[in-house]
């Protein structure tokens, strides 16, 4: 197998489809869809695959906007992950419109050279990254059970090989009290908003006595209905994060205790719901080094993360807990632009973003070829994964 020649061929195949996938990426950008509602984006990617004779399995993992497709046969199995959901109120402010297209483009390029491959490439359409942890459903359904590696890139404002993606869990809290007229009979009520604010204040105090790399933040979603009524209900939505899966569980206990104490003090009832957990992304070093070598060959130099930098959380962390994986960042901007912002959403539809989409597709396809062709690399990837899991 002439690996250099195969890499040249996949680059050519990406370029051949570049214009059509530019149109798909821009169309998805114009029609942003939230978690588990990505019908247009999913349909566009599936249509592009089926138009080229690819057999697509829809409703993967029981999710209406998830899909899988395969090329080649046998082991090893390399999974390419495609995200395409958007953010409420901001649209594609995380750049998923160019990420799902890049993985699909890489898959098709690999399919084109499949006759020379001894292995399988699996494309996994993964909905609900921003909210809902779609990849967790797909893990449970076995989408990665036989995979030897899993890869995707993320849009960013710098090229970063090993971004720190924190473990995270969401918390919904609801305080229930008793309504009363706030002027005539306030003593008859139990103020749910006071209970929530007491918990919120305790949460602020907690920041002083936890690890400095811990994060918890949120919004109040219900503070009552009228100023002259003692609120009988108040609610909030929070996120708790840590660069340590085990410490996240400790933080969960302590954050919830803030609201448990507040409920006791005010005589209110506390109800709460935890979301699925996004686990810490475990960057597989040998796999990341292979990706970096391929981006270097394409003219982009990956950099390690800067001390103290974090990039939020992702359910790709759950995938890297069960399969060796990478989640590097590739810049779609010409300078610093914060993610989850109006400016970043605008950047996701620029020529720079589309150029990065094509480069990302090439780098993913080339790295998949490395994994399939190089048994020594596969062994190093597996050894690093086993060490990371302890």
| Residue 308 banded pLDDT, cuts 50, 70, 90 | confident
Same domain, 238 and 357: no
pLDDT of residue 117: 75
Q: Give the pair of three-digit tokens for residue 202.
A: 């305790």
- Give the domain-ending residue among 229, 247, 278: 278
User: pLDDT tens digit string along 217-245?
Assistant: 999 999 999 999 999 999 999 999 999 99
| Residue 389 banded pLDDT, cuts 50, 70, 90 | confident
Which residues have a Cβ under 8 Å from the Cβ of 153 and sit 6 or more positions away? 99, 102, 327, 328, 329, 330, 360, 363, 364
Same domain, 158 and 188: no
Same domain, 227 and 320: no
Same domain, 256 and 124: no
Q: How many CB atoms lie within 10 A of CB 360?
A: 29
Looking at residue 174, which CATH number applies to its domain? 3.30.70.360
pLDDT for residue 291 is more than 80: yes
Q: Which of 98, 78, 47 is nearest to 70 (CA)?
A: 78
Contact criterion met (CB below 8 Å) for 167 and 279: yes
pLDDT for residue 24 is more than 70: yes
Q: Which helix (H) or strand (E) holds 379?
A: helix 375-388
Looking at residue 326, which CATH number applies to its domain? 3.40.630.10
Same domain, 172 and 118: no
Task: Please state the rounded mean pLDDT for residues 74-99.
Answer: 97
Burial of 386 (0-12, 13-18, 19+ CB in 10 A): exposed
Contact criterion met (CB below 8 Å) for 282 and 246: no
Whole-angstrom distance, CA of residue 247 vs CA of residue 379 = 31
User: pLDDT tens digit string along 257-266?
Assistant: 999 999 999 9
* Average pLDDT taken over every residue of the chain: 96
Same domain, 126 and 183: no
Flag the least confident range among 15-29, 73-87, 109-123, 330-344: 109-123
Q: Which helix (H) or strand (E) holds 121?
A: strand 120-126
| Residue 309 banded pLDDT, cuts 50, 70, 90 | confident
pLDDT of residue 1: 66
pLDDT of residue 307: 82
pLDDT for residue 30 is more than 90: yes
Q: Which helix (H) or strand (E) holds 27?
A: helix 3-30
Same domain, 235 and 142: no
**Neighbouring-strand partners of residue 325:** 150, 283
E-assigned strand segments in the chain: 56-58, 67-72, 77-83, 120-126, 149-151, 154-156, 167-176, 215-222, 233-242, 269-278, 325-326, 329-331
C-alpha of 226 from chain center: 38
| Residue 363 banded pLDDT, cuts 50, 70, 90 | very high
Whole-angstrom distance, CA of residue 329 vs CA of residue 309 = 13
Same domain, 225 and 363: no
pLDDT of residue 114: 78
| Residue 306 banded pLDDT, cuts 50, 70, 90 | confident
- Give the domain-ending residue among 248, 278, 308: 278
- Give the domain-ending residue among 252, 278, 304: 278
Same domain, 377 and 251: no
Full residue range of the structural domain in which residue 376 is found: 3-165+281-388
pLDDT for residue 115 is more than 80: no
Same domain, 137 and 182: no
pLDDT cut 90: percent of the chain above it: 94
Contact criterion met (CB below 8 Å) for 387 and 284: no
Torsion of CA 138, 139, 142, 143, to 10 degrees: 60
- pTM: predicted TM-score of the whole model, two decimal places: 0.92
The angle formed by the CA atoms of residues 247, 248 and 252, to the nearest 5 degrees, is 115
CA distances from 75 to 109, 113, 152 (A): 19, 16, 20
Same domain, 216 and 296: no
Query: Structural domain tally of the chain?
Result: 2
| Residue 310 banded pLDDT, cuts 50, 70, 90 | confident
Task: Please state the rounded mean pLDDT for residues 309-322.
Answer: 93
Same domain, 97 and 186: no
């Amino acid at each position: 197998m002439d690996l250099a020649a195969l890499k040249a061929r996949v680059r050519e195949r990406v370029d051949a489809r570049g214009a059509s996938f530019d149109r798909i990426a821009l169309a998805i950008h114009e029609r942003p869809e939230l978690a588990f509602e990505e019908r247009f984006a999913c349909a566009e990617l599936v249509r592009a695959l089926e138009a080229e004779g690819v057999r697509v399995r829809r409703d993967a993992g029981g999710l209406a906007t998830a899909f899988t497709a395969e090329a080649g046969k046998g082991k090893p199995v390399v999974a390419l992950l495609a995200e395409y959901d958007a953010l409420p109120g901001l649209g594609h402010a995380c750049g998923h419109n160019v990420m799902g297209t890049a993985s699909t483009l890489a898959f098709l390029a690999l399919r084109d050279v499949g006759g020379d491959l001894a292995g399988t490439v699996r494309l996994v359409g993964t909905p609900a990254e921003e909210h809902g942890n779609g990849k967790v459903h797909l893990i449970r359904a076995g989408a990665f059970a036989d995979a030897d590696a899993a890869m995707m890139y993320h849009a960013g404002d710098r090229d970063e090989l090993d971004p720190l993606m924190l473990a995270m869990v969401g918390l919904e809290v609801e305080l229930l009290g008793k309504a009363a007229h706030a002027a005539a009979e306030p003593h008859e009520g139990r103020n749910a908003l006071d209970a929530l604010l007491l918990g919120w204040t305790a949460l602020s105090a907690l920041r002083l006595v936890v690890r400095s790399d811990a994060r918890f933040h949120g919004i109040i979603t219900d503070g009552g209905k009228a100023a002259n009524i003692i609120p009988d209900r108040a609610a909030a939505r929070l996120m708790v994060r840590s660069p340590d899966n085990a410490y996240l569980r400790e933080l969960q206990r302590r954050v919830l205790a803030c609201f448990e104490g507040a409920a006791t003090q005010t005589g209110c009832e506390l109800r709460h719901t935890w979301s699925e957990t996004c686990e810490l992304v475990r960057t597989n070093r040998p796999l990341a080094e292979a990706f970096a070598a391929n981006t270097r060959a394409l003219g982009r130099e990956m950099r390690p993360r800067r001390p103290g930098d974090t990039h939020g959380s992702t359910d790709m962390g759950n995938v890297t807990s069960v399969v060796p994986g990478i989640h590097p960042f590739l810049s779609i901007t010409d300078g610093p632009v914060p993610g989850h912002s109006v400016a970043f959403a605008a950047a996701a539809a620029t020529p720079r973003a589309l150029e990065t989409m094509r480069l990302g597709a090439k780098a993913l396809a080339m790295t998949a070829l490395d994994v399939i062709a190089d048994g020594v690399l596969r062994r190093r990837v597996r050894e690093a994964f086993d060490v990371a899991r302890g």
